[in-house]
Amino acid sequence: MYNQLVSKDIKLAVVGLGYVGLPLALEFARHFSVIGYDIKEKNLTMLRNAVDPSGELKADSFKNRDILYTSKLSDLESANFFIVAVPTPIDKYNKPDLHPLLSATTAVAKVLHKGDYVIYESTVYPGCTTEECVPILEKLSGLKYIEDFKVGYSPERINPGDAEHSLQNTVKIVSACDDASLDEVARIYETVVAAGVHRAPDIRVAEAAKIIENTQRDVNIALMNELSIIFNRLGINTYDVIKAAGTKWNFVQYTPGLVGGHCIGVDPYYMVHKAAELKYHPQMIASGRFVNDSMGGYIAKQTVKRLLANDMPMEKARVLIMGITYKENVSDIRNSKVADIVAELLSYRVLVDVVDPNADPLAVQEEYNITLSPAPTSLSSAPTPLSPAPTSISPAPTPLSPAPTSISPAPTSISPAPTPKYHAVIIAVPHREYLTLTEPDLEKMLVPNGLVVDIRGLFRTKIKHLQYWSL
Ligand SMILES: NC(=O)c1ccc[n+]([C@@H]2O[C@H](COP(=O)([O-])OP(=O)(O)OC[C@H]3O[C@@H](n4cnc5c(N)ncnc54)[C@H](O)[C@@H]3O)[C@@H](O)[C@H]2O)c1
């Protein structure tokens, strides 16, 4: 298989060209003939023009690559080595939603030939590949697993917004259904992963390894979040405590914060689901999820409490939230926990403005029904080209359905709109554009005696006079 890929006698297909699939496909396309298959036509058009829809990759990454972007099953048929990298989200009940995975598997099954390989990269619970995907591959292709086609699993470790840890310089776990195919899969991945591969003894081991990488982070962050709730009652700052404890050699530096996105806040639910099937109800993992999922509401309530302590009637209070992406310096808004802060504040009838230099305003509107505002004047260096004219999200008639006021977008050429004075500014996502803010910058955005809520505690040494609260 490896030699045929190198000689380009056969093709490698990547199914799902998102954060994970696209860089992988482009890297393989330096060496092999690649089919990039996705169902989103709009994204495929962008990719053909060397534009990464997620904004992670520059045009250079598309140069001199042997790759065909397609949504046609007939094109997928010309491949013999398939890599599946489609989303594995959770549904509204926090249960694994395997629809994209099973639908991608169905597409592959329809074009599978004898001797082909199918490698899964999507994050799943241990057992999912062989229990859920293999039966579809067998049924629709009429071929027999292991005898006629091989399956492997190789979890992805990319970290969006992180230029340091890339596909090439991070050891990659590989696994397969038998020893001979593991050798083949390892050799193929070694072509693009300079750091090398780790051969897991079993597909389920590789699936579990990915899940626990993120579950460990989730539980540790939850511990810090819980401690921050306790330290808040004690009247001491969590970050000061962590700094002091961090002077011990074996203290691990986790910090409190919002856990959103498509990995850390999602993957533990996959483990909980599988454990429940095995009649074990995990307490640690589930309580980590409970604590982290409650933090948005907690931060909003703490803000409201402090506004009330300032004698501020809630229906007159105006709060600015800075940042809505799931973490700093990325444009990804999936599972943003900032949306929970907005919803909770609206339920108290507080007026909320949200700004973000990286998020796509249309995506935010579509996903959360939140209209992004232009950057405040003291942040005028932050890009605001797509932002509509200033508008606050009015408290909705029902607390849980925010109804943003919608007014027509301002011409992009005008200077930033004058900033309304806020009763509180919540620095929710510390994008690099916000890190240089000074106390006078924040003061300009606030009414006298206004409050700075600094979720990640980054400004705690900078703020000397303003009212300040962090986790
Ligand atoms: N983004 C990360 O940082 C990251 C890191 C490690 C692992 N993962 C895991 O990798 C997987 C992919 O995540 P992602 O962030 O790349 O997702 P994504 O949403 O960025 O991209 C997935 C792509 O798959 C396409 N797709 C959906 N259904 C399809 C189908 N049936 N056929 C073909 N294409 C289809 C979508 O159009 C999209 O372009 C998930 O399981 C995720 O948990 C993600």
Would 379 be classed as within a structural domain? yes
If you average pLDDT over residues 442-448, what whole number do you get? 95
- Both 190 and 222 in one domain: the answer is no
- Of 315-324, 387-396, 445-454, the poorest mean pLDDT is in 387-396
Would 12 be classed as within a structural domain? yes
Choose the most confident range, by mean pLDDT, from 47-61, 217-231, 412-426. Answer: 217-231
Has residue 70 got a pLDDT over 70?
A: yes
Q: At what angle do helices 283-309 and 267-277 cross, to 10 degrees?
A: 140
The count of domains in the chain is 2
- Both 433 and 459 in one domain: the answer is yes
> Amino acid letter at 253?
Q
Does 133 qualify as catalytic in the annotation? no
- Both 24 and 119 in one domain: the answer is yes
Has residue 383 got a pLDDT over 80?
A: no
**Per-residue model confidence (pLDDT) at position 55:** 86
CA of 101 to the centre of ligand 1 (A): 9
- Both 382 and 430 in one domain: the answer is yes
CATH of the domain at 462: 3.40.50.720
Residue 97 structural domain: 2-201
Q: At what angle do helices 203-234 and 267-277 cross, to 10 degrees?
A: 110
List the helix and strand counts (H, then E) for the chain: 16, 15
- Both 229 and 258 in one domain: the answer is yes
CA of 382 to the centre of ligand 1 (A): 29
- Band the pLDDT of 416: cuts 50, 70, 90: low
If you average pLDDT over residues 12-23, what whole number do you get? 97
CA of 19 to the centre of ligand 1 (A): 6
- Band the pLDDT of 409: cuts 50, 70, 90: very low
In ligand 1, the atom with minimum distance to the C-alpha of 86 is: 24
- Both 395 and 362 in one domain: the answer is yes
- Specify the residue with its C-alpha closest to ligand 1, atom 30: 104
Would 207 be classed as within a structural domain? no
User: Is 436 in a helix, a strand, or coil?
Assistant: coil
- Residue of 24, 72, 86 with the most ligand 1 atoms within 8 Å of its CB, for mutation: 86
Q: For residue range 235-247, list pLDDT tens digits in order.
A: 999 999 999 999 9
CB contact set of 57 (below 8 Å; sequence gap of 6+): 22, 23, 26
Residues contacting ligand 1 via CB (< 6 Å): 15-21, 37-40, 43, 85-88, 100, 103-104, 107, 121-123, 156, 158, 160, 262-263
**C-alpha angle 297/302/308, rounded to 5°?**
125
- Of 145-159, 219-233, 290-304, 306-320, the poorest mean pLDDT is in 306-320
- Both 398 and 456 in one domain: the answer is yes
To the nearest whole number, what is the mean pLDDT of the chain?
A: 91
Match 């593991």 to its residue by tokens: 182
**Per-residue model confidence (pLDDT) at position 161:** 80
Has residue 435 got a pLDDT over 50?
A: yes
Would 300 be classed as within a structural domain? yes
Tell which residue, 466, 423, 426, 427, has the closest CA to residue 443: 466
**Per-residue model confidence (pLDDT) at position 386:** 32
- Residue of 20, 42, 166 with the most ligand 1 atoms within 8 Å of its CB, for mutation: 20
- Band the pLDDT of 401: cuts 50, 70, 90: very low
H/E stretch holding 180 reads: helix 179-190
CA of 350 to the centre of ligand 1 (A): 36
Q: For residue range 30-65, list pLDDT tens digits in order.
A: 999 999 999 999 999 999 999 999 888 999 999 999
If you average pLDDT over residues 409-430, what whole number do you get? 71
If you average pLDDT over residues 364-385, what whole number do you get? 75
- Of 276-290, 331-345, 409-423, 434-448, the poorest mean pLDDT is in 409-423
Structure tokens at 392: 């606050």
- Of 347-361, 377-391, 410-424, the poorest mean pLDDT is in 377-391
Has residue 72 got a pLDDT over 50?
A: yes
Of 201, 235, 267, the residue that ends a domain is 201
Would 343 be classed as within a structural domain? yes
- Of 268-272, 278-282, 409-413, the poorest mean pLDDT is in 409-413
**Per-residue model confidence (pLDDT) at position 387:** 35
- Give the residue, 411 or 316, on which the prediction is more confident: 316
Of 168, 201, 234, the residue that ends a domain is 201
- Residue of 24, 38, 167 with the most ligand 1 atoms within 8 Å of its CB, for mutation: 38
Has residue 413 got a pLDDT over 50?
A: no
- Both 397 and 259 in one domain: the answer is yes
Q: For residue range 164-220, list pLDDT tens digits in order.
A: 888 999 999 999 999 999 999 999 999 999 999 999 999 999 999 999 999 999 999
Q: Tell me, rounded to whole angstroms, the distance of Cα 121 from its chain centroid.
A: 16
- Give the residue, 333 or 401, on which the prediction is more confident: 333
**Per-residue model confidence (pLDDT) at position 406:** 34
- Both 267 and 122 in one domain: the answer is no
**Per-residue model confidence (pLDDT) at position 403:** 41
**Per-residue model confidence (pLDDT) at position 388:** 36
**Per-residue model confidence (pLDDT) at position 394:** 56
**Per-residue model confidence (pLDDT) at position 56:** 87
If you average pLDDT over residues 397-403, what whole number do you get? 40
- Both 353 and 279 in one domain: the answer is yes
CA of 21 to the centre of ligand 1 (A): 7
Output the DSSP codes for 81-144.
Answer: EEEE-----B-TTS-B--HHHHHHHHHHHHH--TT-EEEE-S---TTHIIIIIHHHHHHHH-PP
